Amino acid sequence: MSILEFSNVSFSNEGKSILKNLNIRIESRDYISIVGPSGSGKSTFLKLCNNLISPSEGNISFNNKNVSEYNPIELRKEIAYCFQMPHLFGDTVMDNLSFPFKIRNKRVDMDRIKYLFSLFSMDEEFIDEKVLNLSGGEKQRIALMRTLMFTPEVLLLDEVTSALDSENTLIVENIINKLNNEGSTVLWVTHNDEQSTKYANKLLTLENGEIKSLEVLK
């Protein structure tokens, strides 16, 4: 069953065409690596999936319903997006990890937070750490934890391991693979060739705002 479907989707901004006539069906539980040169429209593609922007032409449907029929706030909770640049806000790591609970009017679940810290092999003491004191790699992992606080149906990742060492990259890859095995659909933009084919079942290549190829790997 397709979970996300793009039909003749184009996107242009201020007269500049960024994505042209995309047609793609993403099946539930797919693990798709998205590759392509800089400026090929990869991040724009993810933003369209998450409804942070709307297509200039064409339709995008989620679970066979046009995304414009969904409440965008609820849709974004189901299609979670972790940015390339980890923007942490507030003062402490806790401000960031409690945010997903606050916007759902839920009490902060410390067990869930601690579970994620163990999953990422990070020390729980980071919880009270000031955001300003974190390294690039730590920020990236906290931002990812924030995205994963509630397991989404679809997970959009934009180069989320770019600031990580090989050991932590491996940890993150395993976490994402585990989530995929548990039912989440994954779309991961990466520049790392090895990473792009390691766990993914499909490889989507974008070039000049168009789909160059969609290979089935597994």
**Residue ranges in contact with other proteins by CB under 8 A:** 50-54, 68, 72-74, 76-77, 80-83, 85, 87, 89, 99-100, 102-104, 143, 146-147
Structure tokens at 117: 């810290």
* Amino acid at the residue 197: T
Nearer to other proteins, 134 or 211 (CB): 134
Nearest approach in angstroms of CB 140 to other proteins is 13
- Tally of CB atoms within 10 A around 81: 20
Nearer to other proteins, 52 or 214 (CB): 52
Strands annotated E in 14-163: 16-27, 31-35, 57-62, 65-66, 79-82, 154-158
Nearest approach in angstroms of CB 131 to other proteins is 12
Nearer to other proteins, 176 or 211 (CB): 176
Nearest approach in angstroms of CB 178 to other proteins is 21
Q: What's the CA gap between 183 and 149, in Å, rounded?
A: 16
Beta bridge mates, 82: 157
Structure tokens at 67: 């995304």
Nearest approach in angstroms of CB 160 to other proteins is 13
